[in-house]
Amino acid sequence: MGLFDTLFGTYSERELKKVKAQTAAVLALQPLYAAMSEEELKDSTRRFKKRLEEGESLDDLLPDAFAAVREASTRVLGMTHFPVQIQGGIVLHQGRIAEMRTGEGKTLVATLPAYLNALTGEGVHIITVNDYLARRDSEWMGKIYRYLGLEVGLIVHGIERDERRRSYRADVTYGTNNEFGFDYLRDNMVLSIEDCVQRPLNFAIVDEVDSILVDEARTPLIISGAGTDSSELYQRAEQFVRRLTPKYVIQKEAMRTAEEIDEIESGADYIVDEKAKSSVLTKGGVKKAEEFFGLDNLSDQDNYEINHHISNALKAHGTMHADKDYVVKDGEVIIVDDFTGRLMFGRRYSNGLHQAIEAKEGVAIQDENKTLATITFQNYFRMYKKLSGMTGTALTEETEFRQIYNLDVVTIPTNMPMIREDAPDAVYKTEAGKYKALLEQVRKIHETGQPILVGTVSVEKSEVLSKLFTRAGIRHNVLNARLHEREAEIVAQAGRFGAVTIATNMAGRGTDILLGGNPDFLARQEMRKQGYEEELIEQSTAHNVTDDEEVLKGRKLFSELKNKFETEIASEKEKVVEAGGLCIIGTERHESRRIDNQLRGRAGRQGDPGFSKFFLSLDDELMRLFGGERMDRIFETLGVEEDMEIAHPMLSRSIESAQKRVEGMNFAIRKNVLEYDDVMNIQRNLIYKQRRDVLEGHDLHPYYERIVAGIMESTVGDFLSASPDTASWDREAFISRISDIFGPLPALEKFARTRKPEDGHQLLEDL
């Protein structure tokens, strides 16, 4: 914190002071709205819309609208917005990002600005990261909107076009970022205006905004069609690269002289730069490629396709790793999301990389696809008139949010003080020394019964740790992309007394680990034991209105079971709290500080106690690639033993500096993606506008006139460039060329009959 922040408060603190008056105004209206009858409260929406028609602004309506939603939520859900949640709602309405910690009720916060902005009738989109959350929130929070007379829509995978159109016409629409983006692209490919589903993009509230607007920003949305089958060439490139010898380096470009480059390339066929994540052939490798494929010169333009396939095969072998970047499951290569640790079903690497990995792994090579329409998330979300977002971790990416989306970040205080203890990092010389110390720490904590969540950066590392824990006799659960089917069960029980859970980043976002266990999950589990079908259990735990007797009976049972388990869990929660709450152990620093913060954020929710500590080593990827040789020299100078723990502020600063450098590199990549798409975006917007005008039956004469004039000027210009005097033209060729494009024209017929010389510029004007 700088001197200015110390004297005047942080940016967030200063901004929150500005919304205190509005927050107080909302709270002051509580008695008025609490005293209203059902009919009076439900009539609020009509009154607010009338005030808008009479000239009042949304800001004028904010205190009353927020107070109405707050009271409706109390009556319908039994949940009343806290003052800090009202502050979060105001920040979202202002078109900003509200950073709110885990467990602070972001889902409920969104109802405040969503209702207020829906009063205009232009629609509000609430965007979540998956179909499950979109469906859950539309049913759960939808009760508030419906109580107040608004319609709620849902956009998830698999729904038909008519249902999509109805959902987009609703006042508030829940859905995923992918579905909203793909619907935009599909709307601009239809052949009839009746087939369009979206309205103009008005106001969006993006949940987990850093995941969608930052992490997903490197992956454009693509609608593709059938492409060509080039599997044979992928297999040949794979056969070639498999026989080559690689050499791994860190930042080859740092080698300045030709002698240094020759030295590092000696004995290697291709160089893998681990920091730049690139794989390139050496001079010797190029020679081998020319011999293998029977080429004179690999760099020749005619050999572009072979070169492209070799490059992809090199990348597949050098920089793409199984059980880290992807997993092979049921004969298919499935991408693992680097930030969430989840499998990305249906997603494929572009430009042939996915096919190269399929060839490497020996599974069926799928045909390449041809891109029909594409857009980046950056350019899609920048089309909204107003954009806002919520997340537990946004402050580290504030610069990017400001530069790309013109969004600032305001940190909302927690409702209850945060009492989690965050211990300094423990750094070890080797990975073996780190694991030895980590194992001992877990064993000691486990003896107290304190639940432990051990975070890893990849599937591979989670399985290595699992073997170590098994050998040490520590009972545990593993949650990773390979074992994702048990995610709900594992997360639900991760806060129980004595629980030990090893997890990739999957447990870092969108999961609520409740101390003592999750009564909701235990009630579902009991219903399964009693023979209830999965579909009926889902309906029994949903929030939509129904008169189905079987579902109502299921809901009654679920409520009874949940109450029973809540009572049982209360005593277990006390034991967990006494033991210190949830303990978070990080086994490596992620390349993004946000991911580390998300892992820490699993503990200490809503005033609960908690503890977090990271165990690191110089062998960790981040330390090895970005820590530099300086830290190695420090450890050598100090004579540090393998299992000796080093904790020093200088080390912590070096680690944070390394993370900042990686974040800077990734930001640069995302900016490059955006700059490339910005060029396409100009063309895309122009073409899509013209298509829309055609579909909507607008007067198209201005378009026709510009097109005709352009073609005419180009055609006549070819002859004018030879001579402005038509006497020297090849008249027959000219007449034939114009007639082929435009057919018979009066001015052209006159020109054909008249043999006297004529000024070519005047002829162009006549035509």
Write out pLDDT tens, residues 306-337. 999 999 999 999 999 988 889 898 889 998 87
Q: What's the pLDDT band for 351 if we cut at 50, 70, 90?
A: confident
User: Which one is predicted more confidently, 519 or 183?
Assistant: 183
What whole-number distance in Å separates Cα of residue 596 and Cα of residue 392? Answer: 12
The dihedral through the CA atoms of 433, 439, 445, 448 has a sign that is negative
Average pLDDT over every residue of 77-91? 94
For the chain, what percent of residues have pLDDT higher than 70?
A: 90
**pLDDT of amino acid 754:** 63
User: Which one is predicted more confidently, 70 or 17?
Assistant: 70
Write out pLDDT tens, residues 204-231. 999 989 888 888 877 788 887 766 666 7
Structure tokens at 398: 């504030």
What whole-number distance in Å separates Cα of residue 500 and Cα of residue 475? Answer: 7
Domains of the chain: 3-223+378-411 (3.40.50.300), 228-367 (3.90.1440.10), 421-664 (3.40.50.300), 701-766 (no CATH)
Write out pLDDT tens, residues 459-493. 889 899 999 999 999 999 988 877 666 777 788 78
How many C-beta atoms lie closer than 10 Å to residue 193's C-beta? 12
Q: Which residues contact 300 (CB under 8 A, 6 or more apart)?
A: none
Write out pLDDT tens, residues 240-279. 999 998 888 876 455 556 676 777 778 889 999 887 788 9
Q: Which of 734, 735, 704, 736 is nearest to 719 (CA)?
A: 734
Sheet holding 97-99, edge to edge: 152-155, 172-176, 124-128, 203-207, 386-391, 97-99, 409-411
**The pTM is what?**
0.80
**pLDDT of amino acid 611:** 94
Q: What angle do CA 121, 127, 132 make, to 5 degrees?
A: 120
What whole-number distance in Å separates Cα of residue 168 and Cα of residue 180? Answer: 10
